[in-house]
Structure 1
Amino acid sequence: MSETGRSIQRAHSPAVSAAKARRWGSLYYAEHWLRVLAKYGWSVFLYSVAQPVAYLLAMGVGLASLVDANGSAAFGGVGYLAFVAPALVVSAAVMTASGEFSYPVMDGFKWRRVYYGPHASPLAPEQIATGHILACGLRILLQSLAYFAIVVMFGAAPGPWGWLTAVVGTVSGLAFGLPLMAYAASLTKDSGQFALVQRFIVVPLFLFSGTFFPLDSLPLAVRWIGWISPVWHGTELGRVFSYGMEESPLLTLAHVVFLIVATVAGWILTRRRFVVRMGA
């Protein structure tokens, strides 16, 4: 006890701190990343929620009034807003992932080299990579939940399992974002690669993944884009959960397997690239 009667707070010994870092390092780095992100809370909110909601109003409400006037047979017997809402949740998650797993990774290795400070501590490269992934995954999940809550307010998720659309959106974002993160971790020079990814991968996936109309209404020449797109697989799963879209159970299983395999493969590749880039 001190002279004032209060207990003295003592820091952990270096050995104890190092042991805790080795055990919980991924969570420590995720906490750091989230604390930094919190300083840009309003920007994150506007990008993650306000902008997609504006899209929902424009495409799901404005356009829906015109589409529904001509019948809903082309959309599985549901209104256009219910049809497009899961796609918008998933697309917003993938677009957020495309931002969080590209430039910030380059920033961590090259521009501000923010990964190397934690790496000077007992944190391993795999923990830093995993912490970044966990923090981004949490951000995408919260964004998807907020977006889905707004979808519910519009009455566009009539099914009892509709809330799983937010989970599907998160996994879809990771299925796209983690392979991108592994690619970003391999770059040593920014030559506009991420701008090309946005223009020639993200935008086509958004447009040709059954987002605004059924994929089978597209010609075969571009339909294959949807088949390899996390956006399409996530969107179809979201529609199954949101309003009970009818499809083959095998196809539903294929959506799940595709998203899980892409996520796990991206996670493994990312961890390996971090080890190569930063040393074991």
Structure 2
Amino acid sequence: MTDAAQTARPDRLAAHTPEVSAAKARRWGSFYFAEHMLRSMRAYLLTIVVTSVGNPLLYLFSMGVGLASIVDRSSGGAAAAFGGVGYLAFAAPALLISSAVMTSANEMMFPVMDGFKWRRIYYGPHVTPLVPGQLAAGHIMAVGARLFVQSLVFFLIMLAFGAAPGPWSWALVPLGILTGMAFGAPLMAYSAHIEKENFQFSMIQRFIVMPLFLFSGTFYPLETMPAGMQWIGWISPIWHGNQLGRAVSYGLAEPGWLIALHVLYLVALGAAGIWWARRNYAKRMGA
């Protein structure tokens, strides 16, 4: 085939000019970097699958067959104590929310430090027209995609266990993403700020993530805790997410103003964290 014939073919692919490529990067750079992050997650895909499927199966099986059966048979009426439902239906939405928060915390600590210090994966894209804010946004989008899949799988397993009786229980999926980001985005901003990892992440896991998981009304109503410890739940994104999750899952009675407060608190934390993260990325990368 002659060169003229090849040029005349309508299906012939041509490389973009540098100007066109730069314009596309400036417009869609966040999506390009999110795709890169999602592809890099294939390195630990087995871990993602095991945690996304195994954790809800183990949690709900242990609750449904083990602890829930004991609690529901206890004297005093467990249904009355847990808003008119059994213990499994009470705990399951909170377990979904807590699982999303823990995943978000993991993705917003070591991978962020990896991007700046260890493998420096942020600096390759940064020599292109991508700006630091796009790198931060792409990282957040990739984590959000993982949270969506994980929360959806958890929700489907809840349905199989009969632990999501309400017609609005599907809203647990976006609530998992919202709560995960409300905790993960500020943590991402902090991770982008520190120069060295001197066991800060281990301390965060032990003294922030786990206490919030245990003392945010995940396994029992917050009101049953001593009054001097209830403030932990009030400031915890997990508690606000738990209450919203129970409201949509089985209709937990919450005043309208408190529902609005839960939503506003999570949105404000997430938005502030994203703003802070983009600012720290720009500062860290000299932009």
Please give the alpha-carbon distance, in whole angstroms, between the structure 2 residues aligned to 1:39 and 1:9. Answer: 32
SS at match of 1:163: helix
Amino acid at match of 2:109: S
Specify the alignment match of 1:164 in structure 2: 171
Instruction: Pick one of 5, 9, 13 that aligns with 2:13.
Output: 9
Amino acid at match of 2:208: I
Q: Point out where structure 2 has 5 or more consecutive residues left out of the alignment.
A: none
Deviations along 1:53-104, one digit per CA (max 9) or x if unpaired, are: 2122113431000000022221111000000010000000000001000000
Cα pair 2:105 2:187 within 8 Å, conserved: yes
Change (3 A) 1:110 1:77: same
Instruction: Pick one of 112, 124, 128 that aligns with 2:119.
Output: 112
Please give the alpha-carbon distance, in whole angstroms, between the structure 2 residues aligned to 1:61 and 1:76. Answer: 20
For normalisation by structure 2, the TM-score amounts to 0.94
Cα pair 1:91 1:231 within 8 Å, conserved: yes
SS at match of 2:164: coil
Cα pair 1:137 1:170 within 8 Å, conserved: yes
Amino acid at match of 1:184: S
Please give the alpha-carbon distance, in whole angstroms, between the structure 2 residues aligned to 1:220 and 1:184. Answer: 33
Instruction: Pick one of 123, 136, 139 that aligns with 1:132.
Output: 139
Taking every aligned residue pair, what percent have the same amino acid on both sides?
Answer: 57
Specify the alignment match of 1:142 in structure 2: 149
Change (3 A) 1:211 1:58: same
Cα pair 2:60 2:161 within 8 Å, conserved: no
For normalisation by structure 1, the TM-score amounts to 0.97
* Larger radius of gyration between Structure 1 and Structure 2: 2
Specify the alignment match of 1:28 in structure 2: 32
Change (3 A) 1:131 1:89: same
1:196 aligns with 2:203: yes
Amino acid at match of 2:210: V
Please give the alpha-carbon distance, in whole angstroms, between the structure 2 residues aligned to 1:101 and 1:86. Answer: 23
Q: What's the C-alpha RMSD, in Å, of the aligned pairs?
A: 1.4
Please give the alpha-carbon distance, in whole angstroms, between the structure 2 residues aligned to 1:176 and 1:214. Answer: 21
Q: Which runs of 4+ in 1 moved over 3 A?
A: 1-8
Instruction: Pick one of 59, 63, 85 that aligns with 1:59.
Output: 63
Number of residue pairs matched by the alignment: 280
Structure 2 matches for 1:31-110, cutoff 5 A? 31-70=35-74, 71-72=77-78, 73-110=80-117
Cα pair 1:60 1:84 within 8 Å, conserved: no
Please give the alpha-carbon distance, in whole angstroms, between the structure 1 residues aligned to 2:224 and 2:2. Answer: 76
Deviations along 1:197-241, one digit per CA (max 9) or x if unpaired, are: 000000000000000000000002211110001110000000000
Amino acid at match of 2:44: Y
Cα pair 2:97 2:179 within 8 Å, conserved: yes
1:229 aligns with 2:236: yes
Please give the alpha-carbon distance, in whole angstroms, between the structure 2 residues aligned to 1:104 and 1:216. Answer: 37
Specify the alignment match of 1:178 in structure 2: 185
